[in-house]
Amino acid sequence: MKRQVAASLLCAATLLTAGCAVQGRRFEKASAPPDNAVIYVYRPYHYGSSLLRPSVTCGEDSARIGPGGYHAFVVPAGSGPILCSVEGAETADQVEIDAHTRVYYIREEFVWGVLSGHPHLNPVDTDQAHTEIAECCVQEP
């Protein structure tokens, strides 16, 4: 009986610490062809809403990012603003990026909603993003 309880507790502790975090490689800079902008969308690890993986779209590319993951969107620069959007079960969020040949960071975060978390796309300054995205792993397709 004690062994069963211990096993259950160990299992719960493992789930709590590991969560459903993305298990890819640690953050590394993406290479982009000239005349392109890179938009990193990252999702710092947080246990809340960890089961939600709404689709994030930037330009023509899209990805579902798990907690602790990131995805690098390479988009053509100088062709007008690029629309990044995320659609949750209850709400959606959009943000426009004036894509020049540089790097942008967007943090995906969840605030709570009626039945499920509401996703937000929050553009973040480079300095702040560097420390946060360093903890994230690449979202494997």
Secondary-structure percent of the chain, ordered helix, strand, coil, rounded to 5: 20, 40, 45
CA distances (Å), origin 11, targets 20, 43, 93: 13, 25, 35
Please name the residues in contact with 101: beta carbons below 8 A apart, sequence gap of 6 or more. 34, 35, 36, 37, 77, 78
Comparing CB distances to other proteins, the nearer of 24 and 85 is 85
Distance of closest approach, residue 58 Cβ to other proteins, in angstroms? 13
CA nearest to 136, candidates 63, 53, 40, 48: 40
How far from each other are the two terminal CA atoms of the chain, in whole angstroms?
Answer: 41
Q: Which stretch binds other proteins (CB under 8 A): 8-16, 22-30, 33-41, 92-100?
A: 92-100
Distance of closest approach, residue 4 Cβ to other proteins, in angstroms? 33
Comparing CB distances to other proteins, the nearer of 19 and 113 is 113
Q: Which stretch binds other proteins (CB under 8 A): 36-44, 53-61, 113-121, 130-138?
A: 113-121
Comparing CB distances to other proteins, the nearer of 48 and 140 is 48
Is residue 24 at the binding interface for other proteins, with CB under 8 A as the rule?
no
List contacts with other proteins (CB under 8 A): 48, 80, 83, 91-96, 98, 111-114, 118, 120-125
